[in-house]
Amino acid sequence: MKQSFWKVLKHSPSILIGGVLVLTVILAALLAGVIAPYDPVTFNPVDRLQNPSFKHFLGTDIFGRDTFSRVLYGAQTSLAVAFLSVSIALLVGGIAGALAGFYRGLTDTIIMRITDILLAFPAVLLAIALLAFAGGGFWNLTLTIAVVYAAPFTRVARASVLRVREEVFVEASRALGLRSQLILLRHVLPNALSPLIVEISLRLAFAILSEASLSYLGLGPQPPAPSWGQMIADGRQLLETSPWMSLGPGLAITITVLGFNLLGDGLRDLLDPRLRKG
């Protein structure tokens, strides 16, 4: 198994390229305070709408703020929202799905009907409705995205647990008289994690897009805090004369989402025995 793992890892362009892209974005966000040449929120009217140069790699915006510095600090916002929201969605949705798949019956019915209600709404529309009620801001945005993506995690966790609970070793544990809670925690959940790991990487990509979309609409972190979606919104009226205002954050979103998607595809190949044998 270990040899097969490293063999697939070595010959998987998706997981290697995706891992490099994701790691680069994470490092850029963590080291933004070191890499960024300028303060991302300080106004400098003298340098407003500068073209890309050695002084300003991606030019400046309408307030004279360095676009490259704002892209780096915007990565902190986008990644923080994505990781926090997906973690909360995984915790809530994963637990709910595991309980539904393992205990079935009334528990399964109640949990899955609530999940169906959430999935009946388009994700962005549901997020806009929740934010319109709760208001924008970092934490409201994070919790809203977590609510939206909890339902897909519930479905994935339930399907995985349903498959594992019918395995022979689970039946043997029941025959030995182990409690249901112990069987679920010790035997079922560890063997049901593979689909959830893949789902995490894919949902991180969706969370990045959701954060950018909602920030574009003004429902994310409020100015002057840098946010990729808000930066694109600020530059949309100047695309013909100053396209770099939107080009920088747009490329950052593209690279980040591509990295997480490639990483998810690679993890799927790595963790799925049927694909690994192929």
- Two tokens, residue 137: 């801001």
Q: Which CATH class is domain 2-20+27-277?
A: mainly alpha
The CA distances from residue 55 to 38, 71, 246, in Å, are 10, 15, 18
In this predicted structure, what is the pLDDT of residue 1? 47
Lowest-pLDDT choice from 159-163, 178-182, 183-187, 270-274 = 270-274
* pLDDT tens by residue, 219-228: 888 877 888 9
| Selection from 255, 159, 254, 147 nearest residue 198 by Cα | 159
Place of tokens 């924008």: 136
In this predicted structure, what is the pLDDT of residue 4? 55
Count other Cβ atoms within 10 Å, centred on residue 48.
15
Higher per-residue confidence, 39 vs 240: 39
Alpha helix positions (H), 180-243: 180-183, 189-191, 193-216, 228-235
Rounded distance between C-alpha atoms, residue 229 and residue 220, angstroms = 8
* pLDDT tens by residue, 244-268: 888 889 999 999 999 999 888 887 7
Are 237 and 191 within 8 A, CB to CB? no
- Two tokens, residue 101: 């798949």
Over residues 67-75, mean pLDDT: 90
In this predicted structure, what is the pLDDT of residue 258? 93
Domain boundaries, the chain: 2-20+27-277
CA atoms within 13 A on the CB side of 102: 24
Average pLDDT over the chain reads: 84
The CA distances from residue 219 to 33, 81, 141, 249, 273, in Å, are 26, 13, 7, 17, 42
Over residues 139-150, mean pLDDT: 92
Rounded distance between C-alpha atoms, residue 132 and residue 135, angstroms = 5
The answer on pLDDT for 126 being more than 80 is yes
